[in-house]
Amino acid sequence: MASSSSLPTAIEFKADFPDDQLEEGRRIVRPGGMGISQAIANRLTQAGLSTSEPSLDVEHNSWEFFAERAERKFWVLVTDLAEIKLVQTKDVSPFLKRIFSGNAAYKEFLDSLHSAMSADARFSSLAWVT
């Protein structure tokens, strides 16, 4: 069984969305990327996954949501780094499901994520990273 660390689990990309970062003076009140994370969650829902509503992840200054399919759960973190955006993922399914089921469901999720983003013209220059 290949470990999940051998799979590329993050995507760097460009996105054509309005800047939705909110600032008060020089202080960031809400990081950008909310619209991007909502669009990705919507695309994954259209692809047959259940998704939670994206919420602010204060620790990472990003937006996070969960996607689920067939008793497998995946964490998705969307970070707006100005010109480049980043989506990081992690299989957060129950430990025994991950051990006994292997990486097939996670790979299927990553394929769905890539297809969903590729089908939306607002996302470009998708590059997988580990």
Average pLDDT over the chain, rounded to an integer: 92
| Number of neighbours of residue 121 by Cβ within 10 angstroms | 7
**pTM for the structure as a whole:** 0.91
105: tokens are: 């469901």
| Rama region for 61: left / alpha / beta (φ>0; ψ in -120 to 50; rest) | left
Q: Can you tell me the mean pLDDT for 16-22?
A: 92
Q: Would the pLDDT of 3 be above 90?
A: no
55-90 pLDDT, tens digit each:
999 999 999 999 999 889 999 999 999 899 999 999
Q: How confident is residue 29, by pLDDT bands cut at 50, 70 and 90?
A: confident
